[in-house]
């Protein structure tokens, strides 16, 4: 349903009732109340960009604990440098002289997202099946 909503939103100049319908179905199933407007917490008359953000947020919430959806979404949306670069933080606990503990945020590792991973190589067996297919750039 999320994929259908996203695809439909991308091909239309503005989201229509079908795009809203997909998201409303998901939200209804999740137990979200319809509200007085029947939009289940969605804003009425969204632009394509606003709906795109609503769909992205819905994917973050709905697929949070299901495999690598988030990583693949970030790659597909070409937002890797935004979300996958920078310092990753951890917590260090220190014992004070009075026996209590205090936590401190520490930088554990710096990651740099390589934009080449937006597209991965096409498997050789697929290129052999169709010689007209061109390998992705490396």
Q: What is the C-alpha to C-alpha distance for residues 34 and 108, in angstroms, rounded to an integer?
A: 43
Residue 97 has pLDDT above 90, yes or no: yes
Percentage of the chain exceeding pLDDT 90: 82
pTM for the structure as a whole: 0.73
Helix (H) / strand (E) element for 28: namely helix 17-29
Contacts of 27 (CB under 8 A, 6+ apart): 40, 41, 42, 58
Strand partners, 103: 93
Residues 6+ apart with CB under 8 A from 115: 80, 81
**What tens digit of pLDDT does each residue of 16-73 get?**
999 999 999 999 999 999 999 999 999 999 999 999 999 999 999 999 888 789 989 9
Tokens of 51: 């709906």
């Amino acid at each position: 349903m999320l994929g259908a909503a996203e695809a439909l939103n991308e091909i239309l100049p503005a989201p229509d009732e079908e795009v809203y319908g997909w998201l409303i179905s998901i939200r209804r199933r999740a137990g979200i109340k319809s509200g007085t407007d029947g939009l289940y917490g969605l804003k009425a008359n969204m632009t394509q960009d606003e709906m795109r953000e609503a769909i992205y947020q819905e994917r973050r919430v709905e697929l949070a604990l299901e495999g690598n959806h988030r990583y693949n979404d970030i790659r597909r949306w070409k937002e890797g440098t935004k979300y996958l670069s920078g310092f990753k933080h951890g917590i260090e606990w220190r014992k004070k002289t009075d026996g209590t503990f205090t936590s401190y945020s520490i930088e554990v590792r710096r990651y740099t997202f390589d934009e080449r991973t937006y597209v991965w190589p096409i498997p050789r067996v697929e290129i052999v099946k169709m010689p007209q297919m061109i390998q992705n750039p490396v």
